[in-house]
């Protein structure tokens, strides 16, 4: 899985759901999009976080809002973000990195993110983080108008998507992961040159979750 592309897919779907709210932000009272990253070290989780953050910044700016800033963790702040950008921002992407992988640690980080003013969306970079959102919001019932997008699956996350409490989630494509692994192994055995391939990711929501092309990719 190209995790940056997968994270960007989540940003694209969330942006469409919140773009009208983003215009309501003001300097000193910005609209916030929260991002929960389980850690700042693993390639998969950081890749998804980078992908989401970078794509959301791109989309917000393309939508006519230049005063967007990233905060929360130095790793994910764009290198070209100007000093003082956060003070002038009307849209803020707030990245929280958990102090550990225990459910309680993730919950604490999510609560800190969601207790801030004007949060309109939250993105979880993996199943543990998505479950943390559910822990913090009574299985999604208390999300209110906050648009949640998850990653991976699991029965709790699938249920939240199915009931429309999550906008949707991003799933990897385990079928293609297995298929391409065998295909590349065979080509390598035959002496052909092989290279990494993106096995893809898909966005699922309550409308397409039952489609065979999606349902076979998500687990409980």
Per-residue pLDDT of the chain (220 residues; tens, 9 = 90+): 999 999 999 999 999 999 999 999 999 999 999 999 988 999 999 999 999 999 999 999 999 999 999 999 999 999 999 999 999 999 999 999 998 889 999 999 999 999 999 999 999 999 999 999 999 999 999 999 999 999 999 999 999 999 999 999 999 999 999 999 999 999 999 999 999 999 999 999 999 999 999 999 999 9
* Cα gap 186→20, rounded to integer Å: 49
* Cα gap 3→137, rounded to integer Å: 26
| DSSP character at residue 162 | H
Report residue 203 as tokens: 């966005």
Q: What is the pLDDT of residue 101?
A: 87
Q: How far is CA 47 from CA 17, 22, 51, 55, 94, in A?
A: 23, 25, 6, 12, 16
Q: What is the pLDDT of residue 119?
A: 98
Element (H, E) at 168: strand 168-172
* Cα gap 203→190, rounded to integer Å: 35
């Amino acid at each position: 899985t190209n995790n940056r592309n997968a994270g960007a897919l989540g940003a694209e779907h969330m942006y469409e759901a919140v773009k009208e709210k983003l215009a309501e932000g003001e300097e000193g009272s910005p609209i916030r999009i929260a991002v929960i990253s389980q850690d700042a070290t693993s390639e998969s989780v950081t890749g998804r976080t980078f992908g989401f953050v970078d794509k959301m910044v791109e989309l917000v700016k393309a939508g006519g809002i230049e005063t967007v800033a990233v905060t929360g963790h130095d790793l994910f702040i764009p290198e070209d973000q100007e000093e003082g950008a956060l003070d002038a921002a009307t849209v803020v992407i707030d990245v929280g990195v958990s102090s550990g992988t225990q459910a309680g640690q993730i919950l604490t980080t999510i609560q800190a993110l969601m207790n801030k003013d004007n949060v309109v969306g939250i993105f979880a970079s993996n199943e543990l983080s998505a479950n943390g959102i559910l822990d913090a919001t009574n299985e999604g019932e208390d999300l209110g108008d906050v648009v949640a997008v998850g990653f991976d699956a699991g029965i709790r996350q699938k249920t939240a998507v199915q009931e429309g409490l999550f906008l949707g989630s991003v799933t990897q494509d385990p079928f293609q992961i297995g298929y391409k692994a065998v295909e590349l192994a065979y080509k390598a055995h035959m002496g052909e040159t092989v290279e990494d391939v993106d096995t893809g990711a898909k966005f699922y929501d309550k409308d397409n979750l039952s489609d065979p092309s999606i349902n076979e990719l998500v687990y409980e």
